[in-house]
Structure 1
Amino acid sequence: MKVWWLMLAMAVGPVSAEDWPLPDWQAATSATDWQAVDSYAFPKRNALERSGVRSDALLIIRDGRILYERYAAPTSASTAHLTWSVSKSVLATVLGVAQAEGRFKLQDAAARFFPPMQAHPDVRLVDLLHWASGLDWQEDYEYAPLKSSVVAMLYTRGRNDMAAYTAARSIAEKPGTRFLYSSGDSNVLAAALRGMLDSAAYADYPWQALFTPLGIHSAVWERDGSGTFVGSSYLYLSARDLARIGLLMQREGRWADRQLLPARWVAFNRTLFSQAQAIPGEANPGGHWWLNQPLKGSAAPWPDAPTDTFAALGHWGQALYVLPTQKLVIVRYADDRDGSYSHNELLKRVLATLAKEGA
């Protein structure tokens, strides 16, 4: 298997008190041996069975500088990779900018901005951000396609207006009382964002609010038949550009000398929604981001990672991890199909490798 990879060992430019990718990422000085990470993240692929851990990209950034970067063909540093449900957390970040502009409050009813939700007047934006709308939903993909709400929304009867398809679902639980992961909730949020803006402003808003200020140039965000961004699933970004969002979150919403995202919004993203049931190995929900904080009576989902670790996660192994105390941002793109990949194992190996520095 041909692999493009880069072990970065030489610093580029002078070291400052705080590094930013302006205009591009710089490399940290490092003589770190990454073999333990390589052997886990990039084993030999079985092309026929499509089994095992199948990383397309792995990018590790500490304190604003690249420590490690590797790609597996055909993915490269310039590839805008499908992020799948990482899109949800990026949507939440765009919404944070909109909230700072005074466009909505968390307690607002979704119906204020998206009229089809008038059938469910008690569903608030905060409920959607917690995946707790109470709408009946089945998130299974290839394992139960005939019963899957998300498959119908993305590919069949819901594809022309995904938020309207979701809004037409019946209520199964009282809104705000139970976590039920739903790509439909995310697409209602994308439609609500549209309702907050002048019609001419929506198409460019993610770029104006987030991508352009961060220096992101690779972004492609597909829209459904109604013109609403598929906030649940269809954002494409290069690994280096996704890492910019991770650095923004690691630094409490600050980008260079600008507070682009309110610190209180980042705190909301990182606040545990307790109305969930712990699943071993699975992160717990925050405000449309995923947390390593334990639910009451349960262990941390990723026991070898700090409990303040949080992440944006997507289908088939896409991940953006943020480890604030360690000042780490990690991007992983992948083509995992069989569930063998472990978030905890990768984070454990990265942290163990870095712990050896200077030993």
Structure 2
Amino acid sequence: MYLKNSLSTVTLLIALLSCSSDDVADQNQAENPQSQESMYFPPLNSNDWETKSVTSLGWNQSKIPDLLNYLQTKNSKSFIILQNGRIVMENYFDSHTSSSVWYWASAGKTLTSTVTGIAEQEGFININHKVSDYIGNGWTSEPLTKENLITCKHLLTMTSGLDDALGDNVAPNNLQYKADVETRWAYHNVYVKLQDIVSQATGKTWSDYFNTKLRDKIGMNGNWIQNGDNSVYWSNTRSMARFGLLALNNGNWNGSQIVNANYFNNATNTSQNINLSYGYLWWLNGKTSYHLPQSQLQFPGKLIPNAPDDMYCALGKNDQKIYVVPSKKLVIIRMGNAADNVNLALSDFDDVLWQKINAVIN
């Protein structure tokens, strides 16, 4: 009799706990409906893309006009917010349309970072090996003993020690010794040598390898266009959003791991001990200090104070932006002309823009 009563009591307690758990889950889902929603990936080779309304997310609709007005007055061409992969806002300005293409500028560095990771996972390169293993000796003007210290990883992390004051030209006579590797962080165009490395190692042109292994895998459009000493990527805004969605999912696209997740995790975390706010050609928020292009100064605090601490981003000349926020499952894209003055990456525009974004999403 005692055992029977005990079993009945246990059964009742389990039932009560189950009901309590279900009630909490229902309440959490009601308060935060997107938390239970699956990640969405738009189909390849299609303009179809699922959307989500601002009101269904509980965002502040009344703050949207202020955000859009700010974007328009700051010379924007396009703006997209994805939440869980679905389009919540998509706006175009100044005769720009969904089919118009625009340049990524240095935001495209993250494309080079990603394809470098793909080449490594396929066994063509090792980022810890020296650059000259792939493109031969004499690719710089440094003494051979110094040149042979520069690895692919040093190009990814901007710690090659090469002189960044000599311009964007990456011919050997313009790549000169400034400091030993890993002793100096400097924003330098020499990262483009990674494209030569991938091309040499794979036996493919950079564009062909990029298109096959990344662009076409996630349904992007666009092409690399030579601009002086740089090869710059141009695409429509949704293509930039597709890449941001890949980044949000740690290199995974709808169940297919495009780039190794461990590599991508390393790429979006601090990569060296000089500029804590820099990964593998990705900028990182929420760190205790940061460096900026063309400066050896260390600035205290977060890169973008108004943005979430876990955000990582691609920043390009004249305010081309990809913001990725894992904690909120957000991807935010901005393309356009310089908001204010010409700049290489970060500008005051970032922090004010995030202030206005926060007014909508919080």
CA distance in 2, matches of 1:149, 1:101: 33
Distance change in 2, residues 1:240/1:271 (3 Å): same
2:100 aligned residue (79, 84, 89): 79
Whether 1:193 and 2:191 are equivalent positions in the alignment is no
CA distance in 1, matches of 2:114, 2:92: 26
Whose radius of gyration is greater, 1 or 2? 2
CA distance in 2, matches of 1:59, 1:166: 40
Q: How do 1:159-178 residues align onto structure 2 when only pairs under 5 Å count?
A: 163=170, 165=171, 168-178=174-184
Is the 1:86–1:312 Cα contact (8 Å) retained in structure 2? yes
Corresponding residue number in structure 1 for 2:314: 312
Task: Report the TM-score when normalising by structure 2.
Answer: 0.76
Corresponding residue number in structure 2 for 1:90: 111
Distance change in 2, residues 1:248/1:149 (3 Å): same
Deviating 4+ runs (over 4 angstroms): none
- Offset of 1:30 from its aligned partner? 2.7
**SS at structure 2 position matched to 1:186:** helix
What one-letter code is carried by the residue in structure 2 that aligns with 1:302?
Answer: I
Q: How do 1:335-350 residues align onto structure 2 when only pairs under 5 Å count?
A: 335-336=337-338, 337-338=340-341, 341-350=348-357
**SS at structure 1 position matched to 2:105:** coil
Number of residues of Structure 1 aligned to a counterpart in Structure 2: 298
Whether 1:25 and 2:62 are equivalent positions in the alignment is no
Is the 2:79–2:333 Cα contact (8 Å) retained in structure 1? yes
What one-letter code is carried by the residue in structure 2 that aligns with 1:221?
Answer: W
Aligned-residue identity in percent: 24
Q: RMSD between aligned alpha carbons?
A: 2.3
Distance change in 2, residues 1:133/1:60 (3 Å): same
List runs of 5+ in structure 2 lacking aligned partners.
1-35, 56-60, 290-298
- Offset of 1:270 from its aligned partner? 1.2
Is the 2:163–2:176 Cα contact (8 Å) retained in structure 1? yes
What one-letter code is carried by the residue in structure 1 that aligns with 2:281?
Answer: H
**SS at structure 1 position matched to 2:164:** coil
1:117 aligned residue (113, 134, 139): 139
Is the 1:249–1:322 Cα contact (8 Å) retained in structure 2? yes
Is the 1:272–1:285 Cα contact (8 Å) retained in structure 2? yes
List runs of 5+ in structure 1 lacking aligned partners.
1-14, 44-52, 139-147, 154-162, 279-283
Task: Report the TM-score when normalising by structure 1.
Answer: 0.77
Whether 1:103 and 2:103 are equivalent positions in the alignment is no
Is the 2:199–2:209 Cα contact (8 Å) retained in structure 1? no
- Offset of 1:168 from its aligned partner? 4.6
1:233-281 deviation digits (Å, cap 9, x = unpaired): 5110111001111111101111012111111111111121344368xxx
- Offset of 1:317 from its aligned partner? 0.7
